[in-house]
Structure 1
Amino acid sequence: MNQFDYLVREQLKTMDKLLYLQSEIERCEEIKEQLNQLQDEAKAESVQFEIEQMRLQLYQIQHMFEKQTEEVIRTYQNQKVETVS
């Protein structure tokens, strides 16, 4: 497997993590809303903390995804230049 294929595969894994985390955040926000409606403030605060932690993770994964994208583009361009040469 060449470097480009490896990088793309890793980026797809990262995208899966992003999508999973986004869906978990949405799920937790729904739970928090239900707890707010039930006026269970202690549990709602706990879920809010969890949401904040997941958003931090999401930010970190997005940053990693951006770096991977840059690396994929660089590798593709290098391969393209090598193929043309």
Structure 2
Amino acid sequence: MDKFNELVSTQMQTMEKLLYLQSELERCQEIEKQLDALKQSAELEELRLEIDRKKQDLQEIHRMFEKQTEDVIHTYQQLAVTLL
């Protein structure tokens, strides 16, 4: 049961990172729209690079979260079998 609780806790931390990064990405995209409207190309290019990095980070965390979900399910299934 301890391993299961630890996996769930780790997964919750990953979810927090995922949500934070998603909100940061949305914030950057809003700024991108504003800069584009102002035609500030230098700042816009830098921001677009940051958006690309955040998208890559988001994909990485998403993959990690999926793996953690699989681990949680597997551990729960093992725990259920041992309790029967």
Taking structure 2 as the reference length, the TM-score comes to: 0.98
Instruction: Quote the RMSD (CA, aligned, Å).
Output: 0.8
How many pairs were matched up? 84
Partner of 2:19: 19
Structure 2 CA distance, aligned partners of 1:2 and 1:35?
49
Higher relative contact order (CA 8 A, sep 6+): 2
Deviation at 1:50, TM superposition (A): 0.1
Structure 2 CA distance, aligned partners of 1:41 and 1:19?
29
- Listed as ranges, the gaps of 5+ residues in structure 2 are none
One-letter amino acid matched to 1:31: I
One-letter amino acid matched to 1:82: T
- % identical aligned pairs: 50
- Describe how 1:26-45 pairs up with structure 2 within 5 A: 26-45=26-45
Structure 2 CA distance, aligned partners of 1:2 and 1:30?
42
- Listed as ranges, the gaps of 5+ residues in structure 1 are none
- Describe how 1:26-65 pairs up with structure 2 within 5 A: 26-65=26-65
Structure 2 CA distance, aligned partners of 1:25 and 1:40?
19
